[in-house]
Chain A
Amino acid sequence: MNLLADALSWLADPSHWQGSGGIPLRIGQHLLLTALALVIASIIALPAGALLGRTRSGGAVIGAVAGSARALSTIGVLTLVGLWLGIGIGPPLVALVVLAVPSLLAGAYSGVQSVSGEVTAASRAIGMSSAQVIRRVELPLALPVIVGGARAAALQVVATATLAAYTADVGLGRYLFTGLKTQDYGQMLAGSILVILLAIILELAFAALQRLAARHAAPHSTPALSSRRTSS
């Protein structure tokens, strides 16, 4: 029997779509966890990146912090925090936040950095206050790149949120672990397919968001701005 066929028949089974272990609920949990991790990571990374973006030598700091966070293996953080906190979504959440921070940090930094000093100076010159400059000039101009960073982070988090199932009964990772442990590889592949579909949807959503931000930032310019991407 074909592995893919097993997975598809698992997905087609209506009983898998109902109840507390059902697919819709798991997708919801998965998205919620992803969103939570991204929000927390943004709260940490975006202000820091933006602030550093305004200075000259922030680049080295960003590189160091982002690189170090990236070097921490996700299951390592999960294991360590797990030993400390026990079961629940705490450990995966911490691990996912650590995972998301580098891309968001780099995005915020690059975005703010790319706003040229002349534009800021010109805005000041026509009488905008500091707050107005940030809100109406720098932020909109930096937004496409920041959204690009969020896009990269979202992709990594949604794929890795499967690890949450190691310590908590949440998310699509449940299908992966249960499938692996009970040798039900159809289930495991089905869970993976769902994660991939979720990732595609998120990718497209963020891409649209990025284009929207680019159009808002420079309504009359060419798509050059929208094709800017930060390295993840």
Chain B
Amino acid sequence: MTKKNLLRFGSVLGIAVLGAGALAACSSADPLDNNSGGSDEPESGGSIVVGSQDYYSNEIIAEIYAQALEAGGYDVDRQMRIGQREVYMPEIEDGKIDLFPEYTGNLLQYLDADATATESQEVYDALAEAMPEGVRVLEQSEASDQDSYVVTKEFAEANDLTSIGDLAGIDGLTLGGNSELEVRPYGPEGLKSVYGVDVAFTPIEDSGGPLTVKALMDDQVQLVDLYTANPVLAGGDLVVLEDPEALFLASQVVPLASDAVDDEAAAIIDEVSAALTAEDLVALNARSVDEEAAAPTIAADWLAEEDLA
């Protein structure tokens, strides 16, 4: 390198290092810790802030909560499609969001990675204990939307599969799912240790969405992780493998509520939770995917049917 080029390279690198230094000086371990920062959203006076995940099914449930509360005379501020837990949990803890539909098993794993509960009531109780200050869980619903291992009907019939354990001994299996599945206890490690099943892993980042389903149907992967409320499961081409050893935690719909949600409001939500069955949730999702209807419409129709609004 000529001297001039060296100088140039050095200056560019120097400026980049300065930038990195600034980063080092200011960064904390958790970039999503916004306890120190303010929020754009104004603190609403008497209204309840209802939020949802960036997941269309969750948005429908949140809409149901919102509309039920409005019918009960409350003022509701909606903040839909926020994103992942890392993004919204801090906001719930900070009191910026008051009501949020969640899933018992998945949330428990997020809050307490070492949790051992797998059965429905166990999970709920463990979750109630693990909740941070200022947030509580209301009654859980029968409706569930948990991870499950799914194969195509063809594959199931060809290999005589009914439960996950039946996969043991089959070679060349590839599992497709979100990247975090690779490190989860119910991922490839769990499959091996609990059921003796060997799988390779292909990351597919759409949380059991169309890419995952398509990869399964195209036989690019043989096993995928889909959520049980996914309407595609009702189609008949896919088989959910049974999980007798409880690899997956039970994960039912449960509302998270901050202290701003008073007993009256909680009672309204509890009614909703009691009325929401597992089939209902699948049907609601199907309306969103097949009919392409919008969340508020679906929510309003369901509430009208159930006579809750």
Contact = CB atoms under 8 A, between A and B. Distances in A.
A4 B27 contact: yes
Given A87-B215, A183-B86, A3 B204 contact: no
A43 interface: no
Contacts of B72: none
A57 interface: no
A74 to B, nearest CB: 15
Contacts of A165: 203, 205
Contact of A177 (B12, B28, B205): B205
B16 interface: yes
A167 B204 contact: yes
A196 B19 CA distance: 12
B218 interface: yes
Interface residues of B, number: 33
Interface residues of A, number: 28
Contacts of B29: 1-3, 6, 185
Secondary structure of the A contact surface, majority rule: helix
A182 interface: yes
Contacts of A167: 204-205, 211
B203 A178 contact: yes
B9 interface: yes
Contacts of A169: 202-203
B31 A87 contact: no
A206 interface: no
Contacts of A3: 23-24, 27-29, 31
A185 B31 contact: yes
Interface string B18-56: 001001100111110000000000000000000000000
Contact of A4 (B24, B178, B215, B220): B24
Contacts of B31: 3, 185
A167 B209 CA distance: 12
B180 interface: yes
Nearest to B201: A169
Interface in B215-239: 215, 218, 220
Contacts of A4: 20, 23-24, 27
Given A2-B27, A4-B27, A177 B203 contact: yes
Contacts of B204: 87, 167
Contacts of A6: 29
Contacts of A83: 210-211
A149 to B, nearest CB: 21
B183 interface: yes
A166 interface: yes
Interface string B50-84: 00000000000000000000000000000000001
A75 to B, nearest CB: 12
Interface string B169-190: 0000000101110110000000
A140 B122 CA distance: 74
B203 A2 contact: no
A162 B86 CA distance: 21
Contacts of A183: 86
Given A4-B27, A165-B203, A169-B203, A174 B179 contact: yes
B12 A200 contact: yes
Contacts of A204: 5, 8-9, 12
A5 interface: yes
Contacts of B205: 165-167, 177, 181
A86 B220 contact: yes
A5 B203 contact: no
A1 B12 CA distance: 28
Contacts of A177: 179, 203, 205
A82 interface: yes
A87 B211 contact: yes
Contact of B215 (A86, A178, A182): A86
Nearest to A85: B214
Interface in A2-16: 2-6
Given A181-B178, A182-B180, A86 B214 contact: yes
B76 to A, nearest CB: 30
Interface string A130-154: 0000000000000000000000000
Given A1-B29, A6-B29, A169-B202, A87 B214 contact: yes
A67 B215 CA distance: 34
B179 A181 contact: yes
Interface of A: 1-6, 82-83, 86-88, 165-167, 169, 174, 177-178, 181-183, 185, 193, 196, 200, 203-204, 208
Given A86-B220, A87-B204, A177-B205, 5 more contacts: A2-B28, A169-B202, A185-B31, A203-B12, A204-B9
Kindly list the 5 A-B residue pairs having the minimum CB-CB distance in the complex, ordered from nearest.
Answer: A3-B27, A86-B214, A4-B24, A181-B180, A178-B179
